[in-house]
A and B are shown apart, each in its own frame.
Chain A
Amino acid sequence: MIPNDLARRVGEWLRGGGPHSEIVISSRVRLARNLALHRFPARMDEAEAALVEAHCREAILATGEVEPPMYLPLHEMPELDRRFLVERHLISREHETGTLPRAIAIGRGEVLSVMVNEEDHLRLQVLQSGFRLAEAAALADAFDSGLEEKLGYAFDARFGYLTACPTNVGTGMRVSVMLHLPALVITRHIEKVFQAVSKISLAVRGLYGEGTEASGHFYQISNQASLGKSESQLVRDLEAVIPQIVRYERSARTTLLAKDRHRLEDRIWRAYGMLRHARILTSEEILTLLSAIRMGLHLGVLPEISLSDVNELTVFTQPAHLQKIEGRELSANERDLARAKFVREKLGENGNA
């Protein structure tokens, strides 16, 4: 079962703080690690998976970063709880649907987490709000070194950390930031960002998989290659580029405001009105509306709502979250009603937020 405090509050990384947090939602560092002398998860049988899981659990708990109740075996968990963890960005879809003994360990108020027996034996993640890559990388590095004292990692002098998929070999590191770029989408400049970014071998994806306009104008930018550069080089590469995109988005927002203030304000206030009074809200619709609200906050158009409220609404109105709150399974129609109700209560339909 999901511990209660996880179900009721938002992760530390969604509090909305950190540098450039009006545009950079979060900074993430992921490390892929495997134990030597064991097959990769896709090739393991149940017994080997259980053994690797037990080794990893012991090592993870020994670091003191994860409290025992926050080490959650997934193969014993109800399906709804696993979907909840996917929505929380703590486990992947692949990890959700696996069958082998596997787990998720969570520390530091969701800043730190480890997937055990996903594609690799260990996937360490540090997720922080705002633009704080170096800090996230340092935390991941320290945690990794703590685990390494207890576990014999699979490592090769030439290929670095050995992973199930050759795309992750080397540092095993993926550094990424989640950006909110509505003005670049509205002004149709987003393609230019994609082109520039792919030229320097960085990858762009949407919030969930492929980038689409519908997913709330969220874009994730990450390194493509994990071999050949050191960890700090990978961090520096991304650190160098992101402020440029942030500036680009800011200037697009300023341009929109200067050229078409009324239309932009109307767009934002309409979104606010819809959220406050709608009776049915789909998950697609709410992301689009919240995207306008998020931009409205930054431009000072909407004074009575905070960034952490917006983040909370984004997280808690996802399907599995709504069902955890209601305490039962809901059909898609019931969810759309429950979502609208949750938002109205949060924003105070008849009063202030």
Chain B
Amino acid sequence: MICEHCQKREATVHLTEITDGKVQEINLCEKCAEEKGVTIKPFSISDFLSALASAHSVGKGKGAPEQACPACGISFAEFQSSGRLGCPEDYTAFREQILPLIERIHDATQHTGKAPACPGGADAFECRRRQLQADLRRAIEHEEYERAAELRDELKELDAAGGEGAPGEPPPPPAEETKETP
């Protein structure tokens, strides 16, 4: 599309003007748009994010903007201005403020995909549990229902065994004493 003003360059700015209730589309090249006083600032993801971050933490009460992450030291205000977090711990430190932002971006707040078998710092129980959950999810997605049933049983056993500090599996029944042969 050619610029309507200079009739030379490619039109990259498309404006919709409403005059006397009539909608009119105007197509201009960047140079002519600038001359006409329509300035277009380059747009970056971080501008967008920091705007979102500010909009969503206003009036959220919990956590002052100057509150800092204990691990990396950045404040929520710093995140708001840069759009980038400092370290993985920020998701815990600023959880209350970040939650609405994440919801706005993804239209969801709960991860349902893959999980590492052993994420940093998890104990062996939690690790095994996540591994089983991930396998189960994949089995269901691939419609391998027999395998899914097995995995579900295994998960149940694991939960029963170590779930909430339970004293472990009931001890196995004592082995039958071998009868001495006379």
Contacts and interface: CB of A to CB of B under 8 A. Distances in A.
Interface string B23-48: 00000000000000000000001000
B117 interface: yes
Given A165-B85, A226-B106, A214 B10 contact: yes
Interface in A218-266: 225-232
Contact of B119 (A36, A119, A166): A36
Contacts, number: 130
Given A36-B121, A154-B120, A226-B106, 14 more contacts: A37-B121, A39-B86, A152-B120, A155-B115, A155-B116, A160-B111, A166-B102, A166-B105, A167-B105, A169-B111, A170-B108, A171-B111, A171-B113, A212-B12
A173 to B, nearest CB: 7
B106 A227 contact: yes
Interface in A73-125: 119
B91 interface: yes
Q: Which of A119, A141, A155, A229 gathers the greatest number of chain B CB atoms within 10 Å?
A: A155
Contacts of B109: 158, 227-228
Nearest to B88: A154
A26 interface: no
A62 interface: no
Nearest to A148: B116
Contact of B141 (A148, A156, A225, A230): A230
10 contacts: A39-B71, A144-B114, A152-B121, A153-B116, A160-B115, A166-B98, A169-B111, A227-B110, A228-B110, A230-B112
Given A39-B72, A148-B117, A152-B120, A162 B88 contact: yes
Contacts of B117: 145, 148-149
A347 B59 CA distance: 65
Interface size class of B (residues with CB under 8 A): 35 or more
B84 A148 contact: no
A40 B141 contact: no
A124 to B, nearest CB: 12
A154 to B, nearest CB: 3
A148 B118 contact: yes
B80 to A, nearest CB: 12
Given A170-B106, A230-B114, A153 B120 contact: yes
Interface of B: 10, 12, 45, 49, 71-72, 74, 82-88, 91-92, 98, 101-102, 105-121, 137, 141
Contact of A228 (B82, B86, B111, B116): B111
A201 interface: yes
A47 interface: no
A192 interface: no
A301 interface: no
A284 B51 CA distance: 34
A152 B84 contact: no
A346 B14 CA distance: 40
A165 B49 contact: yes
Contacts of B91: 156, 159, 162, 169
A155 B98 contact: no
Contacts of B110: 158, 227-228
A172 to B, nearest CB: 9
A149 B101 CA distance: 32
The 9 A-B residue pairs with the shortest CB-CB distance, nearest first, are A228-B108, A36-B120, A160-B111, A152-B120, A154-B88, A155-B119, A227-B106, A225-B106, A171-B113
B61 to A, nearest CB: 20
A42 interface: yes
B10 A227 contact: no
A141 B141 CA distance: 15
Interface in A313-339: none
Contact of B101 (A161, A166, A228, A231): A166
B118 A152 contact: yes
A212 to B, nearest CB: 7
Interface string A16-57: 000000000000000000111111101100000000000000
A43 B88 CA distance: 11
Interface string A268-302: 00000000000000000000000000000000000
